[in-house]
A = this chain, B = another copy of it.
């Protein structure tokens, strides 16, 4: 399973005349073992103690390559950090973000695609992807704030 993605990455690198290094392999393996989103620093931390030491700079550089090769997706959820997630068994989804505890909840609502196409047709824009974030109060924080 992960091997398929490794192969895809290898192919991508080849078409770009880049090399499949052990650092890149270690990063890819780690990413596909994570089944939620993560940021660059999470990844650096999780790679410590693994079979290969990887520097922060290399993590950033490799994340860019993985985004370009469509093996991972990049989001700007909060203010500062970018977060990432791999595409394995993950169809497109959007996010609810709790303003009180910062928890994020994924949701999937295919109708948004129709909506996107309708808007874009009107405005003669060719959509490639979208990002919908709904900010509000999650179930847990609703309970917490009740008397």
**Are B137 and A125 interface neighbours, CB within 8 A?**
yes
Check A18 for interface membership: any CB of B closer than 8 A. Answer: no
Assuming A76-B76, A79-B82, A125-B96, is B135 touching A107 (CB within 8 A)? Answer: no
Q: Dominant SS at the A interface?
A: mixed
**A131 touches which of B107, B122, B125, B132 (Cβ 8 Å):** B132
Which residues of A approach B to under 8 Å, CB–CB? 76, 79, 82, 96, 98-99, 105, 107, 109, 111-112, 115-116, 118-120, 122-139, 142
State the Cβ distance, A100 to closest chain B Cβ, in Å: 10
**A139 touches which of B107, B124, B132 (Cβ 8 Å):** B124
**Residue on B with the closest CB to A141?**
B126
Give every chain B residue within 8 A of A129 (Cβ-Cβ): 134-136
What are 18 A-B residue pairs whose CB atoms fall within 8 Å in the complex? A76-B79, A98-B125, A105-B123, A107-B122, A111-B115, A112-B115, A115-B115, A125-B134, A125-B136, A125-B137, A126-B136, A126-B137, A129-B135, A129-B136, A130-B132, A130-B133, A130-B134, A131-B133
